[in-house]
Structure 1
Amino acid sequence: MNLTEHYNQLYKKSSEAILAGNCIPDSQINNESDSRFGITLLIRPNDTVKTKIKLFLEALKEVEPTQYYYPDSDIHITVMSIISCSEEFRLNQISPNDYIEVICKSLVDLDGITIKFKGVTASPSALMIQGFPTDESLNNLRNKLRENFKNSTLQQTIDSRYTISAAHSTVMRFQEELQHSKQLIEAVEKFRNFDFGEFTVENLELVYNDWYQRKSNTIHLADFMI
C-alpha cells in the first residue's frame, strides 16, 4: 500500500464530508456501560513526538473544545488487533501466556522499527496523525503475527474487521456534532504536512483494552523489547 496516497484519499473524502456537515459522532465515548474489550499489540510514540502532537491538539481545542481528545497516556499505533473489541470477550476466556509465546516467536529476527509521524489525516469520525514506517519491518512483523496466530489454536480475530496496513495514531474523536467545521478544517490544514518527528520503537506492549485504549480501562499484559 502507498501510505501517502492512502492518507491523502482518506483526508480528501473525509474533509469534504466534515465541511458538508456529515461528520459521524461516536455515541459510545461517554457510555459508561460500554463493555467492548479486546487484546491489542501496540506501539507508543516517545515523549518528543507526543509533545508535538499536543501542539496540534491545542490548536483543535481552541476551535472545538468539547470533542474527545486522547490524553498522552492513550496515544498509540496499533500493530495488530489480535482479538477485536467486543461485548462478548473477557480476559478470563484466554491464557495471556499463550499469546505472549506466539508474539515472542514472531519477533525472532525482527529488524528495528522506525516510524515517522508527518502530517494529519481524517475520517468522518476522527482526526489522526499520519505514520510512515521507514522500512518493511512493521509489515514483516504483522505478516509473521498473522501466520503464527492463524497456525495456532488460539482465539483471535486478526483481519476480521479489516486488514491493518497503516501506522496512524488517532488523537481526536468527534463525540458530538461540530460547531465550527470550517474553522476546524482550517486548523487541521495548518498541520496537514507538519513534521511531528521520527522515533525508533524500543518496545511493544500487549494490552487488554477498551475500544478507546483508555489507560483507566487497560490491563497491561506484557512488554516486548526490540
Structure 2
Amino acid sequence: MNLTEHYNQLYKTSSEAISAGKYSIDTEIKNEADSRFGITLLIRPSEEIKTSIQFFIDELKKAEPEQYYYPDSDIHITVMSIISCSEEFQLNQIAPNDYIQLICKSMVDADKIKIHFKGITASPSALMIQGFPTDETLDNFRNKLRENFKNSNLQQSIDSRYTISTAHATVMRFQEPLHDPKKLIEIADKFRDYDFGEFDVNNLELVYNDWYQRKSTTRVLGNFGLR
C-alpha cells in the first residue's frame, strides 16, 4: 500500500464530508457501561513527539473544546489488533503468556522500527496523525505475526475488521455536534503537512484494553524491547 495516497484519499473524502456536516458522532465514548475489550500490540510515541502532537490538539481545542481528545498516556500506534474489542471477550479466556511467547518468536528477526509522524488525516468521526514507517520492518513484523498466529491455536481475530497497514495515531474523536465543521477543517488543513518528528521504537506493549485505549482501564500484559 502507498501510505501517502491512502492518507490523502482518506483526508479528501473525510474533510469534504465533515465540512458538509456529514460527520459521525461516537456515542459510546461517554457510555460508562461500555464493556468492549480486546488485546492489542502497540507502539507508544516518544515524549518529544507527544509534545508536538499536543500543539495540534491545543489548536483543535480552541475551536472544538467539547470533543474527545486523547491524553498523552493514551496516544498510540496499533501494531496489531490481536483480539478485537468486543463485549464477549474477557481476559480470563486466554493465557497471556502464550501470546507473549508467540510475539517473542515473531520478533526474532525484527530490526529497529522507526516512525515519522508527518501531517494529519481524518475519518468521518476522528482526526489522526499520519505515521510513516521509514522502511519495511514494521510490515515484515506484522506479516510474521499474522503467519505465526494463523499457525497457532490461540484465540485471535487478526484482520477480521480490516487488514492493518498504516501507522497512524488517533488524537481526536467527535463526541458532540461540531460547533463549526468548516473551521475545524481549516485548522486541520494548516497541519496537513506539519512535521511532528521522527522516533525510534524501542519498546512494544501487549495490552488488554478498551475501545479507546484509556490508561485507566488498560492492563499491560507484556513489554518487548527492540534492538
Alignment TM-score, normalising by the size of structure 1 = 1.00
2:68 is equivalent to residue 74 of structure 1: no
Number of the residue aligned with 2:179: 179
Number of the residue aligned with 2:224: 224
- Matches for 1:9-88 after TM superposition, within 5 Å: 9-88=9-88
CA displacement at 1:177 relative to structure 2: 1.3
- Matches for 1:1-226 after TM superposition, within 5 Å: 1-226=1-226
Aligned residues: 226
Residue identity matched to 2:90: R
CA displacement at 1:111 relative to structure 2: 1.3
CA displacement at 1:176 relative to structure 2: 1.3
Mapped partners of 1:34, 1:192: distance in 2: 33
Mapped partners of 1:117, 1:44: distance in 2: 12
Mapped partners of 1:143, 1:176: distance in 2: 38
Residue identity matched to 1:222: G
Residue identity matched to 1:113: I
Mapped partners of 1:93, 1:61: distance in 2: 40
Dislocated runs of 4+, deviation >3 Å: none
Mapped partners of 1:5, 1:109: distance in 2: 29
Mapped partners of 2:111, 2:91: distance in 1: 31
The CA deviation string for residues 30-76 of structure 1, in whole angstroms up to 9 with x for no partner, is 00000000000000000000000000000000000000000000000
Unaligned runs of 5+ in 2: none
The CA deviation string for residues 161-195 of structure 1, in whole angstroms up to 9 with x for no partner, is 00000000000000011111111111111110000
Mapped partners of 2:138, 2:109: distance in 1: 12
Alignment TM-score, normalising by the size of structure 2 = 0.99
